[in-house]
Amino acid sequence: MVTLRRRSAPVRDFIVSRAVSGIVSLVLVTALIFIGTTLLPGDAASALLGQNATPAALEALRRDLGLDQPLVQRYLGWLVSALHGDFGTSLASGRPVAEILMPRLRNSLLLAGVGAVFLLPVAIGGGILAAIWQGKWFDRALGFTSMLFLAMPAFLVGYILIYVFAVRLGLFPPMSVAPLSGSAAAWVRVLVLPVLALVIIGQAHTMKLTRTAILAVLASDYVLMAEVKGIPRSRIILRHALPNALSSILSISILTVAYLIVDVVVIEIVFSYPGLGKLMVDSVAYRDLTVVQACGLLFALIFIMMNFLADFLALLANPRQRIPSRGTTE
């Protein structure tokens, strides 16, 4: 009984500490987004009425939209409503923000999910092979390409793919625009280039981290002893190093998906993909602050939850982290 309590204590402490830090991070991020949108030149009233609007009309609309209230009061009111699932009403269209967000969120999660399905096997498999053939031509080639892709911004990768596969070869449309209820074939054609861009962007970092995790395990004493006994390096990695590096690889995989959610914003803009990131950028142009703030909240929430999940699964996958010490048992 005492042993069970001792082993469960780190898990409980971890959940509590990460929940508190996640809430604090979410409040800080949403506050920065809220303040940042209010500092943009102009406001929703000016964007809706245009440059020819009279001061009286602008003042009346600002009062109707609640833009005349103090910033702190507006933020706290919005945050409380958002925690209850009410993101307010779009200042530009008058529609409920949740109604606008859900189809776009589904599209962004679809893009990130499909990207992860193709990215993770390629990146993790490449990292394992690079560790097996450490110092060989394959390892050096992967290292060079990883550094090359890490140095390339996401938008540049997208534009290169558009130029090669859309402009020069004509295989895919340059803009990933499709009806929100389009057929499966239409969506496959729309997703090819954005998914390829996400794979190119994300695989370099994930592959490098996987290789590092495998090589760290290979430096252990029991692995060195296995090498002395003449066991092939590939067998050592697959039978011994890989299972012990599972917690690190699991964390890397989940964090990769979290970063894909962030990269989706840039990729959606480049390919005009109807997702949450493009909606957020378009709403900034129209000064639709309620939509911008809701998008920022969702992105922050997803990223914080994915980071929590990565650390939690890594804790569960490594039993030694759940045992605080071998001291007293009372």
For residues 115 and 197, what is the distance between their CA atoms, to the nearest angstrom?
A: 9
pLDDT for 217 equals 78
pTM reported for the whole predicted model = 0.78
pLDDT at 1: 47
**Quick one: pLDDT at residue 327?**
45
- Does the pLDDT at position 3 exceed 60? no
pLDDT of residue 319: 56
User: What are the domain boundaries of the chain?
Assistant: 1-92+286-330, 105-285
Residue 45 pLDDT > 80, yes or no?
Answer: no
pLDDT score, position 311:
76
CA distance 60 to 66: 10
Q: Could you tell me which CATH class the domain 105-285 is placed in? A: mainly alpha
Is pLDDT at 146 greater than 70 in this prediction? Answer: yes
SS3 211: helix
Q: What tokens appear for 128 in the block?
A: 């394992």
pLDDT tens-place string over residues 281-326? 888 877 777 888 888 888 888 888 888 887 777 777 665 555 554 4
Which two three-digit tokens encode residue 298? 């969702």
**CA angle (128 as vertex; 122, 133 as ends), nearest 5:** 120
3-state secondary structure of 90: coil
Give the pLDDT of residue 41: 63
Q: What is the Cα Rg of the chain in Å?
A: 25
Residue 96, helix vs strand vs coil: strand
Of the two residues 319 and 17, the one the predictor is more confident about is: 17
The yes-or-no verdict on residue 44 having pLDDT over 70 is no
pLDDT in tens, 117-127: 898 888 888 88
- What pLDDT is attached to residue 310? 77
Which residues are CB-neighbours of 56 under 8 A, at least 6 positions away?
A: none
For residue 134, what pLDDT is reported? 82
- % of the chain residues with pLDDT over 70: 84
CA distances from 234 to 128, 194, 213 (A): 9, 34, 15
- What is the per-residue pLDDT for 328? 41
pLDDT digits (tens, 9 = 90+) for 96-114: 888 888 888 888 888 888 8
User: Could you please report the per-residue DSSP string of 101-156?
Assistant: HHHHHHHHHHHHHHHHHHHHHHHHHHHHHHHHTTTSHHHHHHHHHHHHHHHS-HHH
C-beta of residue 161 within 8 angstroms of C-beta of residue 230: no
pLDDT at res. 188? 79
CA angle, residues 326, 329, 330, in degrees to nearest 5 = 150
Higher pLDDT, 262 or 156: 156
Cα–Cα distance, 120 to 53 (Å, whole number): 53
Across all residues in the chain, what is the average pLDDT? 78
Phi, psi of 89 (to 5 degrees): -120, 140
Written as one letter, the residue type at 57 is A
Residue at token pair 């012990």: 244
The count of other CB atoms within 10 Å of the CB of residue 158 is 23
Element (H, E) at 192: helix 184-218
252 pLDDT more than 70: yes
Give pLDDT tens digits for 176-220.
Answer: 776 555 567 777 778 888 999 988 888 888 888 888 888 887 777
In one letter, which amino acid is 99?
E
